[in-house]
Amino acid sequence: QVQLVESGGGLVQPGGPLRLSCAASGRTFSTYAMGWYRQAPGKQRELVATFTNGGSTNVANSVQGRFTISRDNAKNTVYLQMNSLKPEDTAVYYCNVRPPYMLSGYWGQGTQVTVSS
């Protein structure tokens, strides 16, 4: 029903910026939760930053003040602006969109972010 296309990942120097985007096709609404998760090698997938069903945001403490999530409802697109990147930010970043009546929602294919000098 919903397909997510992620882009913007790549290799970046520590301290540098990177912007991820996730465009959703299919039936989506502004009330759907939408945001970003990441999974580093050997670690569990974790929340990075999301818009909830109610329109508020959840942001991980580890990225607070460095990452900013934004949303363009007209384009069904969510963005993640990442600044002051650290090596520990290296992970595969996944987009997720979830209607209120679903527990897991829909996942993108993931985009690799590597922070290294």
For the residues 86-92, what does the mean pLDDT come to? 98
Q: 60, 33, 57, 62: which is closest to 47 by C-alpha?
A: 60
Say what percent of the chain tops pLDDT 90: 79
Tell me the HSE value of 92 on the side-chain side, using a 13 A CA sphere: 13
According to DSSP, the residues that pair with 5 across neighbouring strands are 23
pLDDT at 1: 78
Q: Is the pLDDT confidence value at 73 over 90?
A: no
Write down the mean pLDDT value for the chain. 94
For the residues 48-62, what does the mean pLDDT come to? 94
For the residues 28-42, what does the mean pLDDT come to? 90
pLDDT at 2: 87
What are the structure tokens assigned to 8, written together?
């913007």
